[in-house]
Amino acid sequence: MSRPDFDRYPELKKAWDRREFIKSAAAGTAFMALGGALVRIAADDLTKAARAEKRGDGRARLPPGQRTLEYLRPMGGDPSDGDVKTFKLRVHGAVKTPFELDYAGLLKLPQVTKEADVHCVTGWTMLAGVWKGVQISMLAEKAGVKGEAKHVILEAAHGFTANAPLADATKDNCLVTYRLNGKPFQLQHGAPVRGLIPDLYFWKSAKWITGVRFVKDDEPGFWEVRGYHNHADPWKEERYG
């Protein structure tokens, strides 16, 4: 559209300026959105490669609806003070001998290092993290879990809880973990110690963990009572309840 003669029609100038502004704003927004999309497409090779892989159990390495990231994303939450000196882990509930550990006590228990992928319900997956810690199954054994216990509640700072079936939470890759890829966790990722239940969506792996409670009846946790799925299997896309 050709530009009107503003000298002849000065009253048109204001409307024209507004039109130009709206056009420029729309073009700018479209440019930024396109740029964002291109960055996302370009970074997606890892996702394609992961989709082509299979896990040992025959399932696809990348659950449906996920894309890969090379790092953990901070997902918010109400952190603890992150202090190893005041850290306590209570193992209790339907157990014969409940106990409490401080950080040094946790490190004295048998340690394992596991490689595991983690899958966030928001759609990202971090592959091949190397996690170090103590198996939840080991804590269960030490506490003498009663036969009636069917679920595990991970308890965390400020009353956060996440529930998981006992069978899921006591797989050999489920840990109370304090190191990822040889480094301590940052506060935003659950320092000093967090849970790890890698085959369920990552919110089940409670950050800033304070307790592991074994229970007979299930108790939906913080996110589960807020509309997220009670079980949270990434391969079944159990995102919402």
Partner 1 sequence: MADWKRWRGWLRAIHRDVGYLAVGFTIIYAISGIAMNHVDDWNYNYNSKERTLVIAPVPDDATDEQAAKLVADAAGTGNADDVFRAGDEVRLEYADGTKVTAIGAEVTVQEVKSRFFFRAVTWLHAAKGKQGWKYIADAYAVLLLYLAISGLFMIKGKLGLKWRGTLLVAIGVLVPVCYLYASGGPEAHKDKPKPQVSNVSS
| Type of residue numbered 101 | L
Query: Is the Cβ of residue 14 or residue 52 nearer to partner 1 in the bound state?
Result: 14
Tell me if the bond preceding 192 is cis, omega within 30° of 0.
yes
- Nearer residue to partner 1 within complex by CB, 79 or 129: 79
Question: Is residue 214 within 8 Å of 152, Cβ to Cβ?
Answer: yes
The answer to whether 224 and 241 have CB atoms below 8 angstroms apart is: yes
* Coil vs helix vs strand at 95: strand
Does position 166 interact with partner 1 (CB under 8 A)? The reply is: no
- DSSP summary character for residue 225: G
- The secondary structure of 131-174 as a DSSP string is EEEEEHHHHHHHHTB-TT--EEEEEEGGG-EEEEEHHHHTSTT-
Mark 100-139 with x for binding to partner 1 (rule: CB under 8 A) and - for no binding. Answer: ---xx--xx-----------x-x-x---------------
Which is nearer to partner 1, 24 or 186 (by Cβ)?
A: 186
Minimum CB–partner distance for residue 67 and partner 1 (Å): 12
Which of these ranges, 25-33, 135-143, 168-176, 224-232, lies near partner 1 under the rule CB under 8 A?
224-232
Which residues lie near partner 1 (CB under 8 A)?
Answer: 73-76, 79, 82-85, 93-94, 103-104, 107-108, 120, 122, 124, 148-149, 179, 182-184, 186-188, 191, 213, 215-220, 229-231, 236-241
